[in-house]
Amino acid sequence: MMQPAVNLRAFARPPPRGFGFSCARQPVADLPARLRTPPPSIGIGFSCAHVAVDDVPARVRPPPPGFSRPSRVLPPSPCKIPVPPKLPKRASDNDESSTKRQRLCSDYEDDIYANLRRTEQNLEERPRPDYLKTVQKDRVTPSARARLIGWMDAFVRHHDLVDGTLHQAVAYVDRVLSTRAMNAPTDYDLRLLGAVAVFVAAKYEDGQRTVLKLDPDKIAWYGGFATRKEVLDMERHMVAALGYQLSGPTAHTFVSRFTRHAQGEDELKIQRIAHRYADESLRNYACLGYLPSLVAASAIYLARFALRRLDVRPWNAALEELTGYSALDLALCRRAMYYFSESLSCDPQC
């Protein structure tokens, strides 16, 4: 049977009514609601006089006490810190077995680690390593920052908050101070910033259990702040200054990851000492110039060195494969951490 010939002219005809996207040929009733012009009697938007204060966007509200309104031109981002490439697999040393570690790892752990390394290089989620001079104009000194972190540490311990809260909170403080200058900051202003950073970090790390331990009234009482409203206002402005980006790996994250398969008394002791070195690095302003994974690897190096045992070398091929850093890559960071936390090296007991 002969197939009917295809009429090629049919494809050249204009589409039937209701098809196509030419607004000029469609009546107003057929247009989507978002494309119609509203009638004159209906206004678009709302009068600011009828909007509650809590509904006003954070960028419209006045800044909290002690802060100036953020400038439209933010300070330039720091130079991207180079990350050494992942080293090739080597034969493991006698004291550690990479083959054993590979058997313990899940199939997707390598992807998780690669994502953590990419995330830590995101300049939008990293503080400026020189913000005390370039943004704060030396109004906040490194010693004042160290005192604030010590007070935040006591705050975290007093309320028995989850591990990792302090590292996230310090990251929030550094990121906020990297983008917004404080006008003649006092200890009161810094404590308010630090307490709210701990509150936000604890809710991110521990969720509902933090709400049962902390609330704005308890924070105001502990920090000696005026009212709970002052705490809530600072929380809104802090989250807005962070761009609502509350995640991001810290040195605590990488220490836990590098030592997650620790077994035996010596390895568990190394893990504890490494976490102490990582905690002390928070007060060291110079450590802001290094990636969190580099700080964590340096903390493990110093913890192994603190044991001072001949059968436990500070670094080996298995650790290079695990962290992606050689002993030479850690030289500057571990030197800064060692001189800042020399007392920990003298007393390795936990």
Length of the chain: 350
Both structure tokens of 270: 């190394």
Long-range contacts of 328-335 (CB under 8 A, 24+ apart): 329/84, 329/294, 329/297, 330/294, 330/297, 330/298, 330/301, 332/290, 333/287, 333/290, 333/294, 333/295, 333/298, 334/298, 334/301, 334/302
pLDDT tens per residue, range 146-158: 999 999 999 999 9
pLDDT of 165: 94
Mean pLDDT of 312-336: 91
CATH 1.10.472.10 holds for 249-346 = yes
pLDDT tens per residue, range 89-145: 444 444 444 444 444 446 677 788 888 888 888 887 889 999 999 999 989 999 999
- CATH 1.10.472.10 region(s) of the chain? 128-241, 249-346
Residue 190: which H helix or E strand, with range? helix 187-206
Report residue 16's pLDDT band, with 50, 70 and 90 as the boundaries: low
pLDDT of 175: 94
pLDDT of 281: 94
Q: Domain 128-241 maps to which CATH number in 3.30.1490.20, 3.30.380.10, 3.80.30.20, 1.10.472.10?
A: 1.10.472.10
For residues 40 and 190, give the distance between their C-alpha atoms in angstroms, rounded to a whole number: 51
Asked if residue 195 has pLDDT above 80, the reply is yes
pLDDT tens per residue, range 197-245: 999 999 988 877 777 888 888 889 888 887 889 999 999 999 999 988 8
pLDDT of 32: 54
Asked if residue 295 has pLDDT above 50, the reply is yes
Between 340 and 85, residue with greater pLDDT: 340
pLDDT of 223: 86
pLDDT of 251: 95
Shortest CA distance to 117 belongs to which of 148, 81, 93, 63?
81
Between 346 and 291, residue with greater pLDDT: 291
For residues 121 and 143, give the distance between their C-alpha atoms in angstroms, rounded to a whole number: 27
Does the CA dihedral 210-213-217-219 come out positive or negative? negative
Report residue 45's pLDDT band, with 50, 70 and 90 as the boundaries: very low
Mean pLDDT of 321-341: 90
Mean pLDDT of 176-183: 90
Asked if residue 71 has pLDDT above 60, the reply is no
Shortest CA distance to 219 belongs to which of 195, 242, 251, 236?
195
pLDDT of 207: 75
Mean pLDDT of 167-196: 92
